[in-house]
Structure formats: structure tokens, C-alpha cells
């Protein structure tokens, strides 16, 4: 798929990448990349190399909170609570779409409808290449994980249990 034929949501991610000075290219695939497992199968990488963007909701602030986790990891919500400095809760599909501009299953690490505080799973930085969602349930882009802090203004942290 050529860059000019990207869907509107994938185009928005490609434009956000360019606006932040990144040359990564968004690709839309024929199959689903909605889950970390599906994304890993689609691009032929280990599930740990998938950067899954998860949105939580600050219970005090009502703000969206972004965690970019390795596809192999679960997020420790108590650890996230401590990082965020407030109790956190699950964000429903409407909250996610309203606050990010994207649907669950395609949330990218950047290009959201508003600035969002972000934490990056330190385990992602163990890889030389990772893949992140790009705005739709079948689009993603390949990147060097060391670029995530600059891309998201996020903090690298341990977000998994343990």
C-alpha cells in the first residue's frame, strides 16, 4: 500500500510522525493487527516486539493515561497508579475514542486528539526493532524503540508486574 492511499486514521499517524521529524512509514495490511499476537504474526516478529498502546483513566483527574507496553507483558495497575500519582481505572471504548481520536485495537503512540501522559515499558528497549499500531486495526509501523520517549514525551518505566 502506498503512503498516498492510507486510510484517514493511518494518514493522521503518518502525518504526526512527519510532524515530529520521524521518517517511519505506516503500512496498512490486509489482515488484522488488532492484538499483539495478530500483529506479530502479520509482520513475522516476536510478540514481545509489539508496542501495544493501552489507555487507562485517572480516577481523580479524569485524564487519559497511555502505557506503551511490550506485547508479551501485562501492565501492573498498582505500579501505574504509583507512576501516575493517582488511582487509575479502565477506560471504555467511548472514552478511548473521544480522548485519543482512535479506536481500541489501533491506538498509536502519537497523534492523539490531546496531549496524553505516557509511560513506556522498559522491556521494549531490549529490542533493536519494534512495531506499533498506526491508527487502525490493520496498520502499524516499524521503529527503533529508543525513539519512543521522544515520540511520546513519555517516561521509560517498569510497567509489568514483578
In a domain, 67, yes or no: yes
Q: Kindly provide the b/e burial profile for residues 77-97, where b requires at least 16 CB atoms within 10 angstroms of the residue's own CB.
A: bebbbebbebebeebeeebbb
Res 139: pLDDT: 97
Residue 162's pLDDT band, with cuts at 50, 70 and 90, is confident
- Mean pLDDT score, 109-129: 98
In a domain, 100, yes or no: yes
Cβ-proximal residues to 21 (8 Å cutoff; 6+ apart), any chain: none
- Mean pLDDT score, 41-47: 96
DSSP string for 114-129: S--EEEEEGGGGG-S-
In a domain, 132, yes or no: yes
Res 1: pLDDT: 43
Instruction: Write the CATH number for 148.
Output: 3.90.960.10
- Half-sphere exposure in the Cβ direction for 59 (13 Å, CA): 10
Please state, for a pLDDT cut of 90, what percent of the chain lies above it: 96
In a domain, 73, yes or no: yes
Domain span holding position 17: 3-157
Total number of domains constituting the chain: 1
In a domain, 162, yes or no: no
Task: Give pLDDT tens digits for 123-159.
Answer: 999 999 999 999 999 999 999 999 999 999 999 999 9
Three cell numbers at 27? 503500512
Amino acid at each position: 500500500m502506498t503512503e498516498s492511499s492510507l486510510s484517514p486514521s493511518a494518514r493522521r499517524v503518518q502525518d504526526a510522525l512527519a510532524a515530529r521529524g520521524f521518517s517511519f512509514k505506516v503500512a496498512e495490511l490486509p489482515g488484522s493487527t488488532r492484538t499483539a499476537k495478530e500483529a506479530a504474526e502479520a509482520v513475522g516478529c516476536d510478540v514481545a516486539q509489539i508496542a501495544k498502546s493501552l489507555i487507562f483513566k485517572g480516577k481523580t483527574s479524569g485524564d487519559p493515561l497511555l502505557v506503551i507496553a511490550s506485547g508479551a507483558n501485562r501492565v501492573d495497575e498498582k505500579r501505574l497508579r504509583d507512576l501516575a500519582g493517582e488511582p487509575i481505572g479502565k477506560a471504555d471504548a467511548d472514552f478511548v475514542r473521544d480522548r485519543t481520536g482512535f479506536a481500541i485495537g489501533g491506538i498509536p503512540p502519537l497523534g492523539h486528539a490531546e496531549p496524553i501522559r505516557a509511560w513506556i515499558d522498559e522491556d521494549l528497549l531490549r529490542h533493536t526493532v519494534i512495531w506499533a499500531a498506526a491508527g487502525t486495526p490493520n496498520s502499524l509501523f516499524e521503529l527503533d524503540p529508543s525513539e519512543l520517549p521522544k515520540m511520546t514525551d513519555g517516561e521509560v518505566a517498569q510497567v509489568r508486574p514483578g
